[in-house]
Each structure stands twice: as structure tokens, then as C-alpha cells.
Amino acid sequence: MPGHSRAAATRAIFERYLPPLAEEQLERQVTARLARQHLLAERPNTMFSFIFEQALLERRVGGAEVTRALLDCLLDRGSLRNGEVLLMPLRQEDHAGSDGLMYLAETPDNRWLGYVEGHDNSTLITDPIAVSSMLQRYG
């Protein structure tokens, strides 16, 4: 996804926050998220796996051009040797992501960490039992 389109897609997500973010906060969030995307190229020996709901593409948040750029980005990321992109179909009775976003990461010493985001907060999960539950849901 070209830089401008990627920024527009990311910005469209943060513009939906309530209460609205101040312009400075919004720019800081967009910049931080775009910076994290460089990890795919910077860490070729790390496997990245992403699951997106088809509804994300169907909603067209930010308009048709932003959605097209997002789809191009997903295809690009999925073509990387260290990237996997999966699409959850609309017609799925139930799935482990129904409760919201979840991120999993393995540290260099093979410990797993979890991370969840809500409407107004985020939490890093380090408790091995809670992370194990997240890994089981993902699997």
C-alpha cells in the first residue's frame, strides 16, 4: 500500500474514536501504527500471521479508495515469506475473535505475550495461563 493510502486507511480508523482524538493525538497514533508495520521487513526471521474479518472490507471505512488500498496491502503482506493473511468469512456462526481484537507475540526466549485492545484501553497480558487461553483460541 503506498504511504499516502496506508496513512489514509490508518487515519480513518482513528478518526472513529470517541471521544474524538485531538489532531496531535490522532497524528501520534497514526505515526506509531505505521512505524510498527515496518517490523515485517525489518524482521525477516519472524513469522507474522494476521486474521481479518471480511466485514472490515465490506464496511469500506474511509471510502472505496481506502478499502482498495487496504486490500492491496493485505495481498502484499500475505505474499511475504514471513507473512500470512487469513480472511474470516462473513458467514461464520462463531469464532474465537468474536470477543474482540487480540494480539499474540513470542519473545526471543520463547515466552508468549498477549495484548488486547478495547474501546478506551489496552492491556498487555503476561500471565502464562491467560496467554495459553489466547493461544488456544487462536489455534
3-state helix, strand, coil in the chain (%, to 5): 45, 20, 35
**5-33: average pLDDT:** 85
pLDDT tens by residue, 95-132: 666 667 788 888 889 999 999 877 667 889 999 999 99
| Domain regions of the chain by residue span | 1-91, 93-139
Give me the pLDDT at residue 97, please.
Answer: 66
Give me the pLDDT at residue 17, please.
Answer: 81
Q: Which of 75, 81, 76 is nearest to 48 (CA)?
A: 81
Q: 81, exposed or middle or buried, with CB in 10 Å at 0-12, 13-18, 19+?
A: exposed
Q: 124, exposed or middle or buried, with CB in 10 Å at 0-12, 13-18, 19+?
A: exposed
- What are the beta bridge partners of residue 85? 50
Distances (CA, A) of 8 to 20, 94, 105: 17, 31, 27
Residue 7 has pLDDT above 60, yes or no: yes
| Angstrom distance (rounded) from CA 75 to CA 11 | 20
pLDDT tens by residue, 36-85: 878 888 888 888 888 888 887 888 877 888 888 888 888 888 888 888 88
